[in-house]
Amino acid sequence: MQPLKVVSENSTVYNSSNNKLDNSKMEIKPVNPDRALDQKLVEKAQKGDKQAFSLLVEKYQLKLYRLISRMVRDQSEIEDIVQDSFIKAYRAIGNFRGDSAFYTWLYRIGINTAKNHLVSLGKRPKAMDANEIEEMENYESMSELRVSETPESTMMSNQIADTVNGAIQNLPDELREAISLREIDGLCYEEISELMDCPIGTVRSRIFRARETIAEKLKPLIETTNKRW
Amino acid sequence: MTFFKKLLTLICFVFPLLSFAMEDPWLILEKSAKASQQLNYEGVFHSQSSSESNSTHVIHANIDNKEYCLLKMLDGAPNEVFCSGDMVYVTSQDGLLIKKRKNQFLFPSVLPSDIKHLKKNYQLSFGEKKRVADRMAQHIELKAKDNLRFNYHIWIDDKNLLPLKLIVTNNKNQPIEQSTFTTIAFSKVIDKDIFEKNINLSKVYVSKNKFIENYVSNKFWNLKDLPSGFKEVDLISRRVNGLNLLDYQIIFSDGLAYVSLFIRPITRGTEPKEGTVAIGPTNISARYQDGYQIMSVGVVPPETVNTFSGALEF
Amino acid sequence: MNEKISSLFDSEINNKEVDTILSKKSKMAGVRSSMSDYQLISDVLKKKTILPKSNLTDKIMTAIDKEPTQMGGLVKANSSNTAVMSFEILPVLASLAVLIVIASTAFNIEVNNTATNQFLAKEDIPQEIINAHHAATANNMNYFIQVGDSAK
C-alpha cells in the first residue's frame, strides 16, 4: 500500500502570484563539473559535514597559497593567512549561495585577509602599484608562485620533477597518454574517452593507475620532507 | 602410577586451566546476558540521566523457562510494569497499557544475547573490581571503536554475572546515563503469585487504538551510507491520528545503542524542521525531504543521528 | 575507493561517490594525502613551481574542528548536550518565519521544496516521537511507561 503524500508526486511550481510556470520554457544550463562538485561539498559543509569542507581545503589550499605569495614573502606568514582565510570561509559558509564559484568567493576572502594582515603589521603590500593590484584582481592570469628559492629547495624541486617525468616515461603507453591528456591538455574524461576510443570508466581507471604508479615512485622523496621550504 | 597415568592426570589438571586461559573474554558478556534472564532476584535500582532520576523496585524470576518481572516506580506518579515472556503490561493512573517487548532491554538486562555484533563495534576491556549494592562486581568496559557511538561501562556481579551497574559515557568520558542497584538479593525460588496479583492473565485485552505493526508492503525509500556497525532490527508503521496516512519508524542497533529513524508525512499547517538538538542524553536530528519530515533519535553522538537522517533517500 | 579519489581530484565524480568518500570518516586523512600526491604530480606536468607536501590542510582542519559546527547558516555549539542559536540571527529568522506564514496564508501556497531552515528547539520535537523511540528501545523503564496509547 503506497502511503498517501500530502504533496502530489508531480508537484506544480507556482510563483508568488500563484501563476503556474511553464517548465518547458526553462533553460537548462550546462553544468561545470568542477563547480558542481564544489557546490555539493559546500552544501554538505553547510549541513555540518566538516570533512566535506576539508576536501575543499585540500583542493584549494595550494592555489590560495600561490595567490597570497604574490603579496607576502614570508612562508609562515603565508600559511597563517591561508589558514585564517579558510577559517573565515568556514564561518561564513552558511552565507554562500552558489551565485559565484566557490574559489571566486574564497579568493576574495583570501585577498582581504592578506591585506588586513599586512596593514596590521604596518606593512604595505610589496611592489603593489595600481597595475599589480589590477593583475591580482584578474586572478585567472596568475599561475606562478613566487617563493624565495634556496639551493636546497631548487635541488628538491628538480629531484621531484625528474622522478615524476621519469615515471611518466616508463608508464605503459595508454596510461601515459591518458594522464597527459588530462593534466597537460586539460581535457575532461569524456573528451579523453573519445580521443582514446575507450569507455569513460577505462579512462578513469588509466588515469588512476598512472597516478598511483607515479605516487609510488615519489614516496621516498616526499616522506623525507614534511614542510615547505 | 605408570607414566601414562601420570601424563593423563597432568593433562586433566592442566587442560581446564588452559581452556580457561584461552576462553574468549567476550563470552563473559554472553553469560551475563543469560544470567539476567535466568536468575531470580529482588532489589532496588536507581536510574539517572541529565534530565531526570528515579528509583525502581524490581522482582525478576525465571519460572519453567519463562521470564517474569515486576517493576514498580518508587518516585513520582505510581506506575508498575509487569513483564510476562515478551508481553509487557503497564499499569498507571491512566489505565492499562499492553505492549509486545521487542527491542527493549530493561535494566539490568542490558546486554544482547548475540555478542558477535558487539565485537565489531566495541572494544572489550576489564577494569577493577569494586563493591556495588554490597556485592563485589567486575568492571567491564565496552569502548566504542569509532565516534559513532558512546562507551558502556558495566559492573557485573563477581559470582553470578548479573549486571549491577551501567554507566554510558560520551567521547569526553562524561557520564550521560547511569543505572545502579542500591540493594539486591538473590533467591532460588520466587512465587509466581507475586506477579499475577495485579493482572489477570486469563483475560483478553483489546487495544483501543489500532495501529499496524510491521505492515509495510512497499518500502518507498532507500537507505545509503548508514553509520558503520548499525543494522536494521525492526520496522514499525503507525497511522497518523485521524488521517489516512502512515508514518514509519525504522529501528537500528549496533548491539547496545539504538537509533530510530522516523519518516512522517508533513500535514497541512505543519512547518518542517531541520537541525539537531539534544534532549537529555538523547540526540535528535531532523531533516525535510519531498513532503516528509525525517527524524532520527538515539542515545548516540549527534554526528550519528545526523548521518542517519541524511541516509534516507526517496 | 582510491579510484574514486582520483576522480574526485578531477571533479569527474557523481554525488553518490562523493557521499561514499565522505562517509568513510576514518579514511579522510588518507583521501587528503592522496589528493596532495596528485596535486604534486599535476604541478610537475603543468610545469608549475613545486611545493612538497605540507601539513597545512591538517593545521587548518585542526583549527576548524574547534569552530562551532555550521548547520545551514545556524551555528551549533560543539557541546553535545546543547543546541546554540546565534542571537544575531534569531530576530531575522523570526521575522522571516512570520513573513512566510503570512505569504503562505495569503497565497495558499504549499511549501513543497526544500524546507526553510527552522531553528530546532526541544519544543519542536513531538513527544510521541520520543515516546515511540523509547517504547521500542528503552533500557530504562521510566521511558518505557510514558508511551501514549492505552488499552482496556
Q: Are strands B66-73 and B53-63 parallel, antiparallel or unpaired?
A: antiparallel
Which residues from B are below 8 Å from C137, CB to CB? 103-104, 251, 253, 258, 260, 298
pLDDT at A85 > cutoff 90: yes
Mean predicted confidence (pLDDT) in B159-182: 90
Q: Closest approach of chain C CAs to the CA of A227, in angstroms?
A: 5
Distance of CA B10 to the CA centre of its chain: 44
User: C-alpha grid cell for residue B283?
Assistant: 540526540
C53 interfacial to chain B (CB closer than 8 Å): no
In this prediction, residue C83 carries a pLDDT of 38
DSSP string over A102-152? HHHHHHHHHHHHHHHHHHHTT-PPTT--HHHHHHHHSGGG---------HH
Looking at per-residue pLDDT, the higher value among C129 and B243 belongs to C129
Residue with C-alpha cell 531526570?
Answer: B52
pLDDT at A154 > cutoff 80: no
Window 94-113 of C: residues touching B by CB (8 A cutoff) are 97, 110-112
**Residue A29 and residue B251: Cα distance in Å, rounded?**
42
pLDDT at B282 > cutoff 80: yes
SS3 for A161? Answer: helix
Q: Over pLDDT 70: what percentage of chain C?
A: 57
Q: Over pLDDT 90: what percentage of chain A?
A: 36
Q: In 3-state terms, chain C is what percent helix, strand and coil (to 5)?
A: 55, 5, 40
Write the residue in C76, C136, C151 that is nearest to B97 by C-beta.
C151
Which residues from A are below 8 Å from C15, CB to CB? 40
Write the residue in C25, C38, C40 that is nearest to A51 by C-beta.
C25
Write the residue in A2, A6, A48 that is nearest to B306 by C-beta.
A48
Mean predicted confidence (pLDDT) in A143-160: 65
Question: Is residue A62 within 8 Å of residue C39, measured between CB atoms?
Answer: yes
Closest CA to C22 of B221, A60, A54: A54
Question: Is residue A5 within 8 Å of residue B291, measured between CB atoms?
Answer: yes
**Residue A98 and residue B162: Cα distance in Å, rounded?**
58
In this prediction, residue B207 carries a pLDDT of 54
C151:B302 CB<8 A:
no
Mean predicted confidence (pLDDT) in A90-111: 86
Mean predicted confidence (pLDDT) in A124-134: 46
In this prediction, residue A48 carries a pLDDT of 84
Closest CA to C136 of B106, B166, B206, B279: B106
User: C-alpha grid cell for residue C128?
Assistant: 510521541
Closest CA to B69 of C133, C138, C135, C141: C141
Confidence class for position B138, pLDDT limits 50, 70, 90 = very high
Selected for mutation to probe chain C from A47, A62, A78, A97 (highest C CB count within 10 Å) is A62
**Sign of the dihedral defined by the CA atoms of residues A183, A187, A191, A197, in that order:** negative
Q: Is A200 exposed, middle or buried (0-12, 13-18, 19+ CB in 10 A)?
A: middle
pLDDT tens digit sequence for B195-241: 766 666 566 655 554 444 445 556 778 888 899 999 988 888 877 66
Confidence class for position A166, pLDDT limits 50, 70, 90 = very high
- C137 to chain B: nearest residue by CA? B104
Looking at per-residue pLDDT, the higher value among C97 and C73 belongs to C97
In this prediction, residue B188 carries a pLDDT of 76
pLDDT at A7 > cutoff 50: no
The top-level CATH class assigned to B222-313 is alpha beta
User: C-alpha grid cell for residue B89?
Assistant: 503490561
Which segment of A24-28, A86-90, B51-55 scores lowest on mean pLDDT? A24-28
Confidence class for position B185, pLDDT limits 50, 70, 90 = very high
Question: Is residue B54 within 8 Å of residue B78, measured between CB atoms?
Answer: no
**Residue A78 and residue A70: Cα distance in Å, rounded?**
10
In this prediction, residue C97 carries a pLDDT of 55
pLDDT at B302 > cutoff 70: yes
DSSP string over B196-240? HSS--TTS---BSS----S--S----EE-SPPTT-EEEEEEEEEP
Q: Closest approach of chain C CAs to the CA of A26, in angstroms?
A: 17
Which residues from A are below 8 Å from B245, CB to CB? 3-4, 6
In this prediction, residue B81 carries a pLDDT of 82
Selected for mutation to probe chain A from C1, C4, C5, C7 (highest A CB count within 10 Å) is C7
- Give me the residues paired with residue B252 across strands: B232, B259
Q: Closest approach of chain A CAs to the CA of C142, in angstroms?
A: 33
DSSP state, residue A226: -
Q: Closest approach of chain C CAs to the CA of A187, in angstroms?
A: 10
**Domain edges within chain B:** 24-196, 222-313
Q: DSSP alpha helices (H): ranges in chain B?
A: 3-22, 27-38, 116-121, 193-196, 302-310
SS3 for B169? Answer: strand
SS3 for B113? Answer: coil
Confidence class for position C82, pLDDT limits 50, 70, 90 = very low
In this prediction, residue C138 carries a pLDDT of 67
The top-level CATH class assigned to A33-141 is mainly alpha
The amino acid present at A120, given as its one-letter code, is: S
pLDDT at A226 > cutoff 90: no
C4 interfacial to chain B (CB closer than 8 Å): no
User: C-alpha grid cell for residue C149?
Assistant: 496509547
User: C-alpha grid cell for residue B92?
Assistant: 498507571
In this prediction, residue B271 carries a pLDDT of 77
Which residues from B are below 8 Å from C151, CB to CB? 95-98, 205-209
Mean predicted confidence (pLDDT) in A126-137: 46
Mean predicted confidence (pLDDT) in B126-149: 92
Looking at per-residue pLDDT, the higher value among A148 and A51 belongs to A51
Question: Quick one: which H or E segment has residue B175?
Answer: strand B175-186
Closest CA to C45 of B112, A123, A207: A207
In this prediction, residue C12 carries a pLDDT of 92
Q: Which residues of A169-192 are buried (b: 16+ CB within 10 A; e: fewer)?
A: eebeeebbbbbbbbbeeebbbeeb
In this prediction, residue C15 carries a pLDDT of 87
In this prediction, residue A29 carries a pLDDT of 39
Residue with C-alpha cell 551510507?
Answer: B225
Phi, psi of B267 (to 5 degrees): -95, 160
**Residue B184 and residue B186: Cα distance in Å, rounded?**
7
Mean predicted confidence (pLDDT) in A205-212: 95
Q: What does CATH list as the number for B24-196?
A: 2.50.20.10
The amino acid present at C17, given as its one-letter code, is: E
In this prediction, residue B144 carries a pLDDT of 93
Which segment of A173-187, B37-51, B245-259, C103-117 scores lowest on mean pLDDT? C103-117
In this prediction, residue A128 carries a pLDDT of 44
SS3 for A14? Answer: strand
**Domain edges within chain A:** 33-141, 151-224
Q: Which residues of B237-254 are buried (b: 16+ CB within 10 A; e: fewer)?
A: bbeeeeeebbbbbbbbbb
Average pLDDT, rounded, for chain A: 75
Window 48-77 of B: residues touching C by CB (8 A cutoff) are 49-50, 52, 54, 56, 71, 73
Average pLDDT, rounded, for chain B: 81
Closest CA to B236 of C29, C143, C90, C135: C135
Question: Quick one: which H or E segment has residue B62?
Answer: strand B53-63
SS3 for A193? Answer: helix
Window 88-117 of B: residues touching C by CB (8 A cutoff) are 88, 90, 92, 94-99, 102-107, 110
Question: Is residue A145 within 8 Å of residue A153, measured between CB atoms?
Answer: no
**Residue B152 and residue B154: Cα distance in Å, rounded?**
6
Q: Given 1.10.10.10, 3.20.20.10, 3.40.50.620, 3.40.50.150, which CATH number is that of A151-224? A: 1.10.10.10
ipTM rounded to 2 decimals: 0.78
Closest CA to C19 of B177, A47, B267, B232: A47
**Sign of the dihedral defined by the CA atoms of residues A189, A191, A192, A194, in that order:** positive
Mean predicted confidence (pLDDT) in C50-56: 74
Residue with C-alpha cell 497511522?
Answer: B239
DSSP state, residue A20: B
End-to-end C-alpha distance for chain B, whole angstroms: 77
In this prediction, residue B173 carries a pLDDT of 86
